[in-house]
Amino acid sequence: MDFMIKNFRLVFLLFLLLNYAITPIVLATTQLRYPPAQDKNNITHDYIVGLLALILDKTSKEYGGMEVIDSTFMTQGRAEIELQRGTNVDVVSFGSSIERENKFLAIKIPILRGILGFRMSIIRKDFESEFSQIKTIDDLKKYSACQGMHWPDSDILEAAELKVIRNASHESLFRQVVAKRCDYFPRSVQEGPLEIALKTKKYPELMFYRHLIIHYPYPAYFFVSKNNNALHQRLFKGFNLAIEDGSFQRYLHSHIGTKDVFPASKWLNNTIVEITNPLLSEGTDIDNSLYWIRSKD
């Protein structure tokens, strides 16, 4: 009898081990915490949350369902701290830098196909005539830009010897342009028009200037904690599946926050001031047309 019991236990243990070996890693939680929007009308935030939901859906049969929920409110700087600690937030999207890629696990697929690095500017309407004379980087050096306190963009512009006024509050950046504390507020080609449309009543003095583009290769990635390999694996796999079946491209071209960017040819022929991105990590594949925007898109 003891012999039979021991054999049964051994067989049962082998069954559990084999079942574990062939079963994909299933995340313990069914909820994924992502920081809420700093502004209730932030359409870019809606795009990112929708993209996360799409990516998770691609792997739901393998890993199980997962819902994207708001974490507690936090600034970008606080989000970095919480993500590094593994508390209050599970995934964050950042403009990438070498420091961030060393600190966290990056899902190295640009969530906007590099659109984030094409910057037009929010300016005062009474400054348009003067701003329209800018054609080169040297022309641009005469003026000061408003940018976020913790944005890698700020470091990139400063590395190009451009003057930058930083502020931790997104809303304060608009006020600073109005108050002439800075001259222009570079925003990506998909963010700027939406922000001006939403804030035109509050800041009637402002406009979005489309005829000058400041460009640097600049991917925004999803980042997770160094200790969360399972989530990194799931997001990377789901994102690639969305690219392979075309659903990512359809989402990018149809979402209210990005659809007006296309076709890209309508703005890629504007005056472009090229800037080097010293924060771009070695090996970033900016020539991969699956990940990065092209004029034919």
Nearest C-alpha neighbor of 156 from the set 285, 273, 275:
275
Which ranges constitute the DSSP H helices of 160-295? 170-178, 191-199, 229-244, 247-254, 265-268
- Given this model, what pLDDT does residue 29 score? 55
Q: Report the run of H or E that residue 2 belongs to, with start and end.
A: helix 2-22
Instruction: Dig out the tokens for 260 from the structure.
Output: 């007006």
φ and ψ of 129, to 5 deg: -60, -45
- Given this model, what pLDDT does residue 269 score? 80
- Given this model, what pLDDT does residue 294 score? 81
pTM: 0.79
Going from the C-alpha of 126 to that of each of 6, 122, 132, 178, 200, the distances in angstroms are 86, 12, 11, 10, 15
- Given this model, what pLDDT does residue 74 score? 86
**2: CB partners within 8 A, 6+ apart:** none
The string of pLDDT tens digits covering residues 54-95 is 999 999 999 999 999 999 888 888 999 999 998 999 999 998
Distance CA 16, CA 78 (A): 42
**86: CB partners within 8 A, 6+ apart:** 225, 227, 228
**Domains along the chain?**
31-114+220-260 (3.40.190.10), 115-215 (3.40.190.10)
- The answer to whether 156 and 215 are in contact (CB under 8 A) is no
Residues in the chain where the model's pLDDT stays below 70 = 1-29
